[in-house]
Structure 1
Amino acid sequence: MANPFQRARYMLSAHNMAQLPPDGGFEVAFAGRSNAGKSTALNAICQQGSLARVSKTPGRTQQLVFFDFTPKQNEEPAAKYLVDLPGYGYAKVPKDLQAHWQAFIDRYFTTREALKGLVVIMDIRHPLKDYDLQMLGYAVNRGLPAHALLTKADKLGRGQQMQTMHAVSREMHSRFGDSVSVQVFSGESKQGVDEARAVVANWLELPIA
C-alpha cells in the first residue's frame, strides 16, 4: 500500500482562527523549536524533498501551515491535514508577534475539534526544553495523544541514542503519565521514519503499508 503522505500538498497558511479550514476533519499538528529539524521530519514522513521549507535561518514558520493530502476526487466527508506550527527558540521576531502566536496556538489547542494528536520534534542532543514541555502540556491537558521525535539521531552513536531516549521517556512518564510516546528519529538517515509515519497515520485513521 502506498504512503498516503506522498500526496501532501501545501494548502494554506493561517495567521488567525478565521483563516483555518472548516473544523470537523482530522488534523495532526507538528511542533518544534527552531533548529530542531521539524521541516526535515515532515519532509521525511511525506517522502518529499521540499514540502516543508528547510532553512538555515531558524524560525521562518510564522503561521499555521496546512498540508492537504486528501485527493480532490475523494468524497470522504472528513478532510485530513498535517499542520506545521510556528517554531520558537532562535526566532528573531518582535515580542508582539510572539504574543500573537502564543494566543493563537492556545486557542487552536483548546477549541479545535479536528485536532487528533501532536508530534513534538526535539533535537536528541537538546531535548525537553521549556517550549517542548509547553506544547506537550497543551496536548495532554486537552486529552490528546502526543508523540516525541528525538531528531538528528544520526549525530549520536546507537548507545547514546538509546540512553537519551530512555531518559526522556522516564521524564515524560513522570510529567505526563502514558499520554506521550517517544522515539529516536533521523530525517537524514531515515531512522524511525516508518514508525513515526505509522503513528500519524493511525491518528488520522489512514491505511498505510
Structure 2
Amino acid sequence: MTILHRAAFVTSAARLDQLPLPGAPEVCFVGRSNAGKSTAINVLTNQKRLAYSSKTPGRTRLINMFGLPDTLNPGEQLGYLVDLPGYGYASVAHQAKEQWADILGDYLRHRPSLAGIVMLIDIRRGVTELDRRLANWIAPTGKGVLALLTKADKLPFGQRKNAVFAVKKQLADIGQLHALPFSATARIGIEEATAQIENWISPKVVP
C-alpha cells in the first residue's frame, strides 16, 4: 500500500480563493479534457470513484482536492492531490474557457505549496497546441513535471518509446521533465508514477 491509497476527498472550489490556505505539498493533475486525468487519479489511489470521470469532456469545472492523511499525526495531511479542470473542449463557451485558463495559470504560477505537476497527454495525439500553451505557463515556475502518456496500451512498445522521445523533445523547455507511457487498464507506468508523486509529497515517507 502506498501513501496515495490513503487519498480522501477534502473540498471542491470554483476559485483559488476558495481553496484551503497553502500548507502541505500539493501535486496537481492537468491535461486536455478526456486525456484520462480522473482515471489516472483513481488508479494511482487504488479507488474506483475518488475522482469524477465524466463521459462528457469538459464537465469537470472545479478544482478538486484530495488529502493524504498523516497516520502519525491525526488531523494532519502529508500532502494533497489536486485535480484541476480539463481544458480544450470545443463546445465549451469561449468565456468559460478563458476563465478556466485564468484559474489554471494562477494556480500553476502562484500556488506556493505546489510541489509537482502531473501532465496528462494522450499518447496517440501527442503534444497539442493547448498542451504547449500549458507548458509555457509551467516552464517559468521551475516545478518538476511528470508527463503521463495515457492510453499507452493502444500502441506497441516501439511506438511508445518514440512517443516518449517526441514529448521530451517538444517540452524540452520544462527543466525538470519526466515522461513515461501510462495505461490504467493495462497497468503500465503505475509504479513509476507513484514513486515520483510520493517523492514530491515526502521523500522520507516509507509506505
- Structure 1 partner of 2:194: 197
TM-aligned CA distance change 1:198 to 1:113, over 3 Å: same
Cα deviations by residue, 1:46-81 (Å, 9 ceiling, x for unpaired): 111111122211112101111112147725866511
Cα deviations by residue, 1:187-209 (Å, 9 ceiling, x for unpaired): 11111000001111101115255
Displacement of 1:40 in angstroms is 1.1
**TM superposition score normalised by structure 2:** 0.91
Counterpart residue type for residue 69 of structure 1: L
Counterpart residue type for residue 199 of structure 1: Q
Counterpart residue type for residue 16 of structure 2: M
- Aligned partners of 2:78 and 2:201 also within 8 Å: no
- Aligned partners of 1:43 and 1:52 also within 8 Å: yes
Q: Match for 1:187 among 184, 188, 199? A: 184
Tell me the SS of whatever aligns to 2:57.
coil
* Seq. identity, %: 38
Tell me the SS of whatever aligns to 2:149.
strand
TM-aligned CA distance change 1:91 to 1:7, over 3 Å: farther
Displacement of 1:171 in angstroms is 2.3
**Quick one: distance in 2 between partners of 1:200 and 1:180?**
13
- Structure 2 partner of 1:48: 47
**Quick one: distance in 2 between partners of 1:78 and 1:7?**
10
1:9 aligns with 2:8: yes
**Quick one: distance in 2 between partners of 1:28 and 1:172?**
19
- Aligned partners of 1:198 and 1:208 also within 8 Å: no
Cα deviations by residue, 1:157-200 (Å, 9 ceiling, x for unpaired): 11111111122222222x33x42111111011111000001111
**Quick one: distance in 2 between partners of 1:23 and 1:85?**
16
Cα deviations by residue, 1:91-142 (Å, 9 ceiling, x for unpaired): 5332222222222222222221100111100010001112222222322211
- Structure 1 partner of 2:151: 152
Counterpart residue type for residue 184 of structure 1: P
Count of residues in correspondence between the two structures? 206
Cα deviations by residue, 1:7-65 (Å, 9 ceiling, x for unpaired): 11111111112211111221011001111111111111111111112221111210111
**TM superposition score normalised by structure 1:** 0.90
- Structure 2 partner of 1:96: 95
